Structure 1
């Protein structure tokens, strides 16, 4: 069993390191075009840092580990909206306009609701439903780009060449692909060896792979880039329930058990609470940030 746990840790490490390299490369390329920091955060960084979840969903579909995939996505999304927002708000002042909270937070809740509906009907997500989820995500990005006002332009980079950025992206993607295979195969084996539900294994690994998003958000707010900080966290929570889950299901369908429904409902409910705090306060207070951190605990116990 120790060897299986070691492989699981290696898989998470490969996903985290590979995702970080891919985010660095894609973000550098995006910033060369001067798009806004919030747009970079909610699209390029969010999709890039969600590569671990995307890879896990694909391999989970191929290996018939639907509960592990859903648990991984729920664990990642819940930790970002609770631990991520809470830690960022404690590190520095987290000031976000109510308009952005309403627009992108609403998109996040809609994505989670779609995920819940797909999983609750038919015992899983079919190939066609996966394709539709991906299509919905593409429509969301298109609408986002259409209404992008380019406020808060990201700094253009001159020291990072396109070749270096592309190399980082390729290396990162390779590590993510390999890490996804290691994580899913070892996660399934650990669930069998210990009798722990595959879903719970997914929740724990989801926390591990969400570290890149939280790290990016913390560094961003310390550098007065609240747009990237919040955009990354909210963007990933739109990407994972729609795009990551959709891609995995589109590959071969995802069969899941009824045990995942309550945690999905909690993920959606606690996300609505955190968004309400952000919208009400404008700048999240310290006590609200601490409350966000505490809200993560039930996700592991459900």
Structure 2
């Protein structure tokens, strides 16, 4: 009797932006050099990224959490969007949707869960009660579109997200950015006190341009460092006969969220916890509106049965749990609240490998 294994649509190569021969043709010592070189790139890049984001927030008169939910999250998800669109055009549309949904699970369950367990993160209810609803609504919209497509097709194996939906999501992305700016103007008391210091127009312009350049440099280092680390580590694992399912569900899925992770850790270390929370919320929103929207606009995305059986239910579970924690009393997330999110992520990884045979 033949057993059919459902595979999770994830990229076959952990490093999707850098050329694959960089890793497959490299000698073992060179791979280890890549790994060692990626660590300072990640650390320095995340440090520059956080500092620049905070300076931009102060200069623009915006709260740091809002900068995290817009500029920083847009920067960290843009590489995912590029990879997903390339995959969709290349006939691997399932990878595009898998990247987006997997990143939401990783960002919310692993990254937020881990940082929440390590320190009591501050809540900004004005922002969380607005962006948080969009975060949950974006995930619910994706599930609704998939279910409607399933109902229309009548066959779980023939569900697609069409170009019309992709254009709708991109339109909602523009609306989200406009709303974010309006909300920032509604609540000036959220702006750090340093923003109230009067600066001459020329000095303010120089500060903003310098900060944007530093932000771009930091983001570039974080993204390239992530690609270098994940690609090298993945090839090292293959050469040492680590099973492909383990590589797929750990390095590949984790690698797409590595920029958010190093940014989150740097934010906590530097005392800008609100940047972490904003980045997680913004990345979740943009993974639906930006990554899925751009990919579906390029070519219709296939929603494979594994999305209904595993990915979409887990995604909604972590988003609802995160939303429930926002509603709980107190001006901080409790450290214990990160534990159930981490447990969900671990179970997700275990089920992905043992039940759904990722990479098999």
TM-score when scaled to structure 1?
0.77
Q: What's the offset of the Cα at 1:47?
A: 0.7
Name the CA shift for 1:268/1:5 in 2 (closer, same or farther; >3 Å): farther
Partner residue of 1:247 out of 285, 289, 294: 294
Partner of 2:60, secondary structure, is coil
CA RMSD of the aligned region, Å? Answer: 4.1
Does residue 33 of the first structure (1) align with residue 60 of the second (2)? yes
TM-score when scaled to structure 2?
0.66
Name the CA shift for 1:226/1:88 in 2 (closer, same or farther; >3 Å): same
Name the CA shift for 1:222/1:144 in 2 (closer, same or farther; >3 Å): same
Partner of 2:168, secondary structure, is helix
Q: What's the offset of the Cα at 1:59?
A: 0.9
**8 Å contact kept, 1:134–1:242:** yes
Name the CA shift for 1:101/1:277 in 2 (closer, same or farther; >3 Å): same
Q: What's the offset of the Cα at 1:142?
A: 1.2
Partner residue of 1:297 out of 323, 339, 346: 346
Name the CA shift for 1:61/1:88 in 2 (closer, same or farther; >3 Å): same
Does residue 65 of the first structure (1) align with residue 92 of the second (2)? yes
- Following the alignment from structure 1 to structure 2, what is the Cα–Cα distance between the partners of residues 289 and 174? 28
**8 Å contact kept, 2:69–2:282:** yes
- What stretches of structure 1 of length at least 5 have no aligned partner? none
Match of 1:81 in 2: 108
Match of 1:237 in 2: 284
Match of 1:49 in 2: 76
Question: Larger Rg: 1 or 2?
Answer: 2
Structure 1 residues 182-204: Cα deviation after superposition (integer angstroms, max 9, x where no partner) = 98xx9xxx9xxx9979xx94785
- Following the alignment from structure 1 to structure 2, what is the Cα–Cα distance between the partners of residues 119 and 4? 36
Partner of 1:284, secondary structure, is coil
Q: What's the offset of the Cα at 1:166?
A: 3.5
The number of equivalent residue pairs is 289
Structure 1 residues 79-109: Cα deviation after superposition (integer angstroms, max 9, x where no partner) = 1111222222233221204443332221111
Match of 1:265 in 2: 313
Q: What's the offset of the Cα at 1:34?
A: 3.2
Name the CA shift for 1:63/1:151 in 2 (closer, same or farther; >3 Å): farther
**8 Å contact kept, 1:21–1:172:** no
Q: What's the offset of the Cα at 1:287?
A: 2.4
Does residue 127 of the first structure (1) align with residue 163 of the second (2)? yes
Partner of 2:61, secondary structure, is coil
- What stretches of structure 2 of length at least 5 have no aligned partner? 1-11, 14-19, 25-30, 154-158, 196-202, 353-360
- Following the alignment from structure 1 to structure 2, what is the Cα–Cα distance between the partners of residues 266 and 33? 37
**8 Å contact kept, 2:120–2:335:** no
